[in-house]
Amino acid sequence: MKPSSWLRLLAVASLAMSLASGAFAADLTLWCAGAMKAPVSALLAKRPAGEPKVVATYATAGVIRERFAKGERPDLVIAPSEDVFQWMKQKVIDVASRRALGETEVGVAVRAGAPVPNIATADALRATLLAARKVVIVDPAKGTSGRLVESLFQELRIADAMRDKTLKVDGGYVVEAVARGEADLGLHQVSEILPVAGVKLVGPLPGDLKRLTRYDLALVVGTPHRDEAAALAAELSSKDAHATIEKSGFMPAR
C-alpha cells in the first residue's frame, strides 16, 4: 500500500476514535464559589446527554480571585458580584454576559437536636455568641462570609472576646464542624448550611445586622467555547434554574 493510502487510513481511524470518545465535544470549565455549589451541581446533573461536558471547580471566592490573579481563566465563573465587577474593570469578564443569579445571607447553625439559641435581636445574638464554647466560620482570607462575620463581631463589639473561640476553616461546608461537635455554632452562608446533614439552621442574622451577598454568572473574555459557554449560562440563569437556586437558600437578586 502506498504511503499516502496509509496516511488516509490513519486519518479516518483517528477521526473515528475521536468521535467515539467525544473528544470533539468542548469541555467547558466553570469556576463556582462555594455558596452556589448546591444549586449549580444539581442543575449540572440534570443536563441532557450529548451536551458539552462541564468541568466544574467549587472553591471559596478567595481561591477563585487568586487563580484569576495568576492569569488562569475558566470559560465561565460564578462569584460574588463585587469580584465580578472588579474583573469587569480589568476587562477579563464579558460585561454583556453578566447575569445575577441570586442573593444569600449569613445564617447561624447549631447541631441537630441541640437547644435553639435566641438570635432574634442584636443583644440576643451577642449573648448567644459570647456564651458559645466554639464558633466555626470560613477563613476570612478565603471566603466571603468569613469577612462578613468578622465585621459582625466588630459591629457587636465582641471581636476580642471571639478571637480565641473562633475556629476558622479554609473552605467547604464549614458547619460540618458543628455536626461533629467541634463547635457549638456555625456562621456561614445560608446556602452552605442547608445541604449539611446533622445541623439545624437557626435563621439569618437579625435586622440591621443582616449580611447579604449577591452571586453573578459571567463568561470570561477570550473563551474558545463562547457559543457553548453562552448556552450553559442561559441554562443556569433560566426560570427553571432560578427555582432550584431559590430552594437552595437564595433570594432573587435585587
Q: Determine contact, residues 75/220, Cβ cutoff 8 Å.
A: yes
| Strand 99-111 versus strand 54-59 pairing type | unpaired
Length of the chain: 254
Distance CA 114, CA 42 (A): 29
Pick the CATH number of 104-212 from 3.40.50.800, 3.30.230.10, 3.40.190.10, 1.10.10.60: 3.40.190.10
pLDDT at site 26:
63
Q: What is the pLDDT of residue 13?
A: 40
pLDDT at 57 over 70: yes
The model carries a pTM of: 0.86
Q: Do domains 3-103+214-247 and 104-212 have the same CATH topology?
A: yes
DSSP state of 35: G
Q: What pLDDT shows up at residue 48?
A: 86
Supply the pLDDT for residue 18: 38
DSSP string, 163-186: HTTEEEESSS-TTHHHHTTS-SEE
Using the structure block, give the residue that is written with the C-alpha cell 486519518.
Answer: 11
Cell of 187: 456562621
CATH topology of domain 3-103+214-247: D-Maltodextrin-Binding Protein; domain 2 (3.40.190)
| pLDDT tens string 89-135 | 999 999 999 999 999 999 999 999 999 999 999 999 999 999 999 99
Average pLDDT along the chain: 90
Q: Where are the domains of the chain?
A: 3-103+214-247, 104-212
User: SS3 for 27?
Assistant: coil
> pLDDT, tens digit, for every residue of 80-93?
999 999 999 999 99
Provide the grid cell at 52: 458539552
Secondary structure E strands in 90-194: 99-111, 135-138, 166-169, 185-189
Give yes or no for residue 1 having a pLDDT over 60: no
